[in-house]
Amino acid sequence: MTRRAFVHRISAAAPDDVSGIEAAIADGHIDPKGVIAVLAKTEGNGLVNDFARGHATLALSLMFRRHLPADEAARICLVMSGGTEGGMAPHWVVFERRAADDADGKGPALAIGRAHTPPLPFEHLGRLAEVDQVTEGVTVAMRDAGISDPDDVHFVQVKCPLLIAQRVADADRRGAVVATRDTLKSMGLSRAASALGAAVALGETAREKIAESDIGANWSLWSRRASASSGIELLNHEIVVMGMSPAWSGPLAIDHAVMADAIDIEPVRAALGRLGLAASGQLTDTQRRRLVALLGKAEASHDGLLRGRRHTMLDDSDIASTRHARAFVCGALAGLVGHAEIYVSGGAEHQGPDGGGPVALIVDRA
C-alpha cells in the first residue's frame, strides 16, 4: 500500500476562472478529497496592490466548499503567485494525492506534503521569528509528505504575508517596530526570511549562522530548493513540499536545478535529461507533453549586472524589478521547454544565488 501523487496543470481564462478545475472534478480526473494544494500564476502585478491573487483565492475557496466540508476545504494550501509578465500563461497547478496499491508501480515517485503556520505578527515579518516559523512549517510539511531525509526534497513552495500601511499602523499602535515601512520592500523581506527558514529545514544553512541583519542582505546564504511568494491575501504561511519517496508510487517524478543567473538554462536542460527528456534544442511536442509542471524563481541581480553587462531592472521606477525578471526568465525557460504555461515566481531573495534561482521539474515518466 503506497500513496500516489497527481499533478493537474489547468489553464485559467481569468483570476477567478476555476471552470477548468470544476470540469476535471466533474469528469473524475480530480477527486477534491485528495487535493492538498493549488499553486497558480495569476495575472495581477504580483506586487502589493495585486487583488487578483485574493480574487483567485476566494474563487477557489468557494469552489472547493461546493465539493468538500468547510474545514477540509480550508486545509487546502492556496499559493497564488501574482504576475504573468511576458508570455507567461495564467494557470492552476492542482496537487492531489490518493492511496494506491502497488499495481501502480513501485516508487520512488513524487511525494507531496503541506503545512499552514499560525498568523505572523507584523513586527516579526522579515526577522528571525519568521525564519523559525517557516523552518517549523517546512518540517511539518515534510512529515506530511512522509519524507524524512531533506535530500529527498526537491522543491519547497512558501506563500508568505506582506505589510501594507494599515498593518504597519497596527504594529505602531501596539508599540511594535516593523522591519520596514516600505510596503513593496516588505514583500522581499518576507520572501527572504521564508527562504532562509526553508534552507534551515533542508539542512542547507545552519540556523546559528543566520543573523537578523543577513535577511534580505547577505546573498551568500541561499537555498537550492526554496521558493517563496508573498501576498496581501494571507497573514500566515502556506507551505508545500515536493520530493521523491519510495513510499509513493506512480509515473510522476521530480528533480531540480539551480540557475546561476537569469539565463543559465543549461542546468535545467540537464535536469530534463535526468528525467528522460534530453534535448539539444527546444523540447519536442512529445517531450513537452510529458513535462507536467515547471516551477522556478526569477530576480534581478543586485549588482545590476548580467554576465558582466548592465541591466536596468533595479533603476526602473515604472516597472518593479520582479516584473522585469519574471518576463525575462520566463522567456529563457520557455525558449527551452517550448511553451510559457510555466510557474515563474518573482523575487528570489536567498532562493538560489544572487540573480539566479531554483527550478523544479515534474515529469510524467509513463
Would you say 153 and 224 are in contact if contact means Cβ atoms under 8 Å apart? no
CA 124 to chain centre: 21
Residue span binding its own copies (CB under 8 A) among the ranges 27-35, 55-63, 205-213, 243-251:
55-63
CB of 335 to its own copies, least distance (A): 4
Note if 159 is an active site residue: yes
What is the 8-class DSSP label of residue 111?
E
Q: What is the distance between the alpha carbons of residues 85 and 198, in angstroms, rounded to a whole number?
A: 27
- The single residue among 34, 51, 104, 236 that binds its own copies, judged by CB under 8 A, is 51
Name residues contacting its own copies, limited to 211-250 (CB under 8 A): none
For its own copies, the binding residue among 1, 28, 103, 166 (CB under 8 A) is 166
Binders in 185-214 for its own copies, by CB under 8 A? 185
From the list 81, 186, 194, 229, the catalytic residue is 229
Judged by CB under 8 A, how many residues of this single chain contact its own copies? 80
Euclidean distance between CA atoms 145 and 153, whole angstroms: 10
Q: Which three three-digit cell numbers place residue 335? A: 525558449
317 is catalytic: no
d(CA 23, CA 57): 18
Grid coordinates belonging to 177: 517596530
Site for its own copies in 326-365 (CB under 8 A): 327-336, 338-341
CA angle 25/54/84 to nearest 5° reads 85
Which CB sits closer to its own copies, 54 or 357? 54
Q: Which is nearer to its own copies, 114 or 159 (CB)?
A: 159
SS3 content of the chain, % helix, strand, coil (to 5): 35, 30, 40
**Euclidean distance between CA atoms 329 and 221, whole angstroms:** 22
Q: How far is the CB of 276 from its own copies (least distance, A)?
A: 18
CA atoms of 251 and 267, how far apart (whole Å): 23
The nearer residue to its own copies, 254 or 336, going by C-beta atoms, is: 336
Nearer to its own copies, 73 or 147 (CB): 73
By C-beta, is 46 or 107 nearer to its own copies?
Answer: 46
Comparing CA positions, the residue from 270, 275, 266, 267 lying closest to residue 293 is 275
Establish if 54 lies at the interface with its own copies (CB under 8 A).
Answer: yes
Return the range that interacts with its own copies (CB under 8 A); candidates 64-72, 121-129, 247-255, 308-316. 308-316
User: 256 near 360, Cβ under 8 Å?
Assistant: yes
| Residues in 80-119 at the binding interface with its own copies, rule: CB under 8 A | 84-91
Within 206-355, where are the H helices? 266-274, 285-290, 321-337
Exactly one of 25, 52, 125, 272 binds its own copies (CB under 8 A); which one? 52
Q: Which of residues 282-301 bind its own copies (CB under 8 A)?
A: 282, 300
Report 248-267 residues binding its own copies (CB under 8 A).
Answer: 262-263, 265-266
Stretch that binds its own copies, among 32-40, 166-174, 189-197, 248-256 (CB under 8 A): 166-174
Which residue, 30 or 332, has its beta carbon nearer to its own copies? 332
> Which helix (DSSP H) or strand (DSSP E) does residue 38 occupy?
strand 35-42
Phi, psi (degrees; rounded to nearest 5) at 263:
-120, 20
Supply the residues annotated as catalytic. Answer: 159, 229
